[in-house]
């Protein structure tokens, strides 16, 4: 990709993804988009991996390794308290360019790998619906699982804050990981009924490069992929990682399409396939191939797909024509899909905020 293309990606990241969410990353990405030297660092990224999130994660990882550098005072994840000011960009630029060789090495070797634990609160209603339809214990297979933290969603506690002050609760009462999610309703929608517990038969994750959380360097990279001015997300990540150490899921290294059937064959019973902001990393042709692979699996066993993706990367493939779900508002869509006699039956359940903080339930 040429330099202008890289700058455009950084500018879009700042104006669409970071604006209103991360003042630090919006500021840095906007200025990086106008700086040939900083933007140029991304030229060594793997095909399809030129992303603003990757540049920010690499910088975050380098600051982690040098926590006494003055730049760290802008990183709440490292104890910094300063907001963006006139010194933020010059410090960031000089810090990164002084470590340009290290930055390029990370950019060329790493993927942006997030494991947003709060998304479990978005997935839980979808998995619960699939399990109810199955009528018995189900197995989970997460495609694009990173470290597999979402595979522990049956062990988390959930508190959904509804309009009017009511609350829905689910999950074990004494869960080590507690998640809070705002829940509101589109006119005509009704509050979903959620089971207190999910009974799972088995679970596994599939990822091109699964993250081993027993490796401190891998855990540090996963933390670096969390936005630096959102320390609560990092604390939650650490709590979930500690809990996962007691119940390590099986993580399979492989391709989300080519290796889907073999990964699924390792799990018994009705199968629930999860994706959460994973298909956006697939090319359009590969997304279509993924859905075809799911349909093929469903020809020989009960299969559900719980999709928490932007509409264009997920449900649109099986539920076209829902322009109101397009994601122009920055929201993704939670959906559940099952196959009957080779035909996909898809339902959009909710609009979802990208980091799991809110969901808006839709009429069914």
Among the listed ranges 28-32, 233-237, 306-310, which one has the minimum average pLDDT value?
A: 233-237
- Model pLDDT for residues 315-336, shown as the tens digit of each residue: 999 999 999 998 778 899 999 9
- Residue with the larger pLDDT of the pair 164 and 38: 38
Strand residues in the chain grouped as ranges (E): 138-143, 157-162, 167-170, 178-185, 200-207, 250-253, 271-276, 303-309, 332-340, 343-352, 358-361
Rounded CA gap, 360 and 181, in Å?
10
The residues pairing with 334 across neighbouring beta strands, listed in sequence order, are: 308, 350
User: How confident is the model at residue 354, as a pLDDT?
Assistant: 84
For residue 57 the two structure tokens come to 């994660």
- Residue with the larger pLDDT of the pair 170 and 16: 170
Query: Contact 13/51 with Cβ under 8 angstroms?
Result: yes
Mean pLDDT of the chain: 94
| Res. 136 pLDDT band, cuts 50 70 90 | very high
What is the model's pTM? 0.87
Report, as an integer, the average pLDDT of 176-186. Answer: 94
Report, as an integer, the average pLDDT of 86-94. Answer: 98
The residues pairing with 276 across neighbouring beta strands, listed in sequence order, are: 308
Report, as an integer, the average pLDDT of 125-144. Answer: 96
Torsion of CA 257, 259, 263, 269, to 10 degrees: 50
Rounded CA gap, 171 and 195, in Å?
8
pLDDT at 103 over 80: yes
Q: Report DSSP state, residue 23.
A: H
User: How confident is the model at residue 351, as a pLDDT?
Assistant: 97
- Residue with the larger pLDDT of the pair 43 and 329: 43
Query: What percent of the chain is predicted at pLDDT more than 90?
Result: 84
Report, as an integer, the average pLDDT of 78-101. Answer: 97
The terminus-to-terminus CA distance of the chain in angstroms comes to 43
Query: Contact 158/169 with Cβ under 8 angstroms?
Result: yes
């Amino acid at each position: 990709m040429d330099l202008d293309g890289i700058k455009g990606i950084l500018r879009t990241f700042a104006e669409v993804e970071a604006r209103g969410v991360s003042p630090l990353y919006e500021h840095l990405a906007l200025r990086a988009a106008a700086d040939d030297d900083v933007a140029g660092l991304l030229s060594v990224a793997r095909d399809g991996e030129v992303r603003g999130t990757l540049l920010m994660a690499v910088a975050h990882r380098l600051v982690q390794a040098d926590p006494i550098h003055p730049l760290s005072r802008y990183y709440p994840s490292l104890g910094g308290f300063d907001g963006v000011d006139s010194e933020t960009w010059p410090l960031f630029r000089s810090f990164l360019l002084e470590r340009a060789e290290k930055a390029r090495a990370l950019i060329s070797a790493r993927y942006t790998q997030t494991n947003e634990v709060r998304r479990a609160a978005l997935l839980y209603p979808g998995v619960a619906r699939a399990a109810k339809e199955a009528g018995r214990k189900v197995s989970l297979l997460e495609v694009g699982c990173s470290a597999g933290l979402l595979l522990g969603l049956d062990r988390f506690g959930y508190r959904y804050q509804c309009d009017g002050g009511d609350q829905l609760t689910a999950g074990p009462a004494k869960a080590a990981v507690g998640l809070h999610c705002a829940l509101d309703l589109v006119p005509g929608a009704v509050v979903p009924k959620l089971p207190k517990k999910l009974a799972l038969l088995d679970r596994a994750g599939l990822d091109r490069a699964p993250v081993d959380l027993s490796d401190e360097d891998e855990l540090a990279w996963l933390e670096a992929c969390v936005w630096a001015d959102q320390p609560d997300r990092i604390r939650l990540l650490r709590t979930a990682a500690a809990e996962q150490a007691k119940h390590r899921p099986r993580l399979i290294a492989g391709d989300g399409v080519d290796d889907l059937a073999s990964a699924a064959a390792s799990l018994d019973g009705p199968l629930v396939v999860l994706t959460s902001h994973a298909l956006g990393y697939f090319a359009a042709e590969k997304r279509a191939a993924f859905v075809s692979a799911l349909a093929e699996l469903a020809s020989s066993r009960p299969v559900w797909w719980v999709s928490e993706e932007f509409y264009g990367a997920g449900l649109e493939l099986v539920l076209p024509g829902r322009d109101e779900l397009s994601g122009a508002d920055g929201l993704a869509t939670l959906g559940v899909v099952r196959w009957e006699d080779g035909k996909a039956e898809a339902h959009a359940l909710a609009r979802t905020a990208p980091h799991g903080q809110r969901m808006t339930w839709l009429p069914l």
